[in-house]
Amino acid sequence: MPRTALITGTSGGLGQAIAVALAREGYDLALTDLDVATLKETLAHPDIKQRKVVTAPLDLRSRESINAAFSDSRARLGDIDLLVNNAGRALLKPSISVTDADWDDVMNINLKGAFFLSQLLARSCIEGKRPGCIVSIASTHGMTGIGDRLVYGISKAGLIQMTRMLAIEWADKNIRVNAVAPATVMTASREKLLSDPAARTRMLSRIPIGRFVTPEEVAAAVVYLASPGAAAVTGHTLPVDGGVTVI
């Protein structure tokens, strides 16, 4: 029986890499993004085209959108076995300039939305007496300190603590909850932002292995945490960071 995964934020970059990696592992997929029209490139990937795939619009700031995306995906794909909370909003801004709107937007997308999707997955698994798995994409910014990323870092630290708390609460329900904490992931959009050699050198200087993380490396960590080989792993945040968090 095919396994099923719902992944948030899959129009490109890291979300697309996770979707491709899970498709290769035999998962049928529910792909979500704010605008499903942006999923065209992901849907065209040869490995994605080999699986049963449904799409759903998802605004993580809206409970109505969260409920609709989950229920619609489940109705068309079947019970969801794996939830990957990948979508997120970054914010590079001095703390002294952060506004109410900045705070609410980042927290709602990165933390609140991830929690309520996780809640829906857990409810469906508990009601159906089925095992479940949740993997959230956190960040090294939730584990270490750095300037101008306060709100983003707090949201990711919250996601890491949420992972611990839910893992304990749902362990006896056979629902595993883990997270992956990447350092800077080199996506196409990030490549454009780092076109300035000085900025690139500065960021690389923080990574002991001397290079950026690839989307495929993060996706491989998600695949592992969702696999039978990680059956005894829950409540864990796995850094994929080139050594950033051990400095």
Residues forming the active site: 152
Six token digits for residue 37: 């029209």
Q: Which amino acid is at 150?
A: L
Tokens representing residue 205 in the block: 């200087």
Residue with tokens 């969702």: 226
CA-based end-to-end distance of the chain = 44
Task: List, in order, residues 6 or more apart from 45 with CB less than 8 Å away.
Answer: 16, 19, 20, 23
Rg of the chain taking only CA atoms, in angstroms: 17
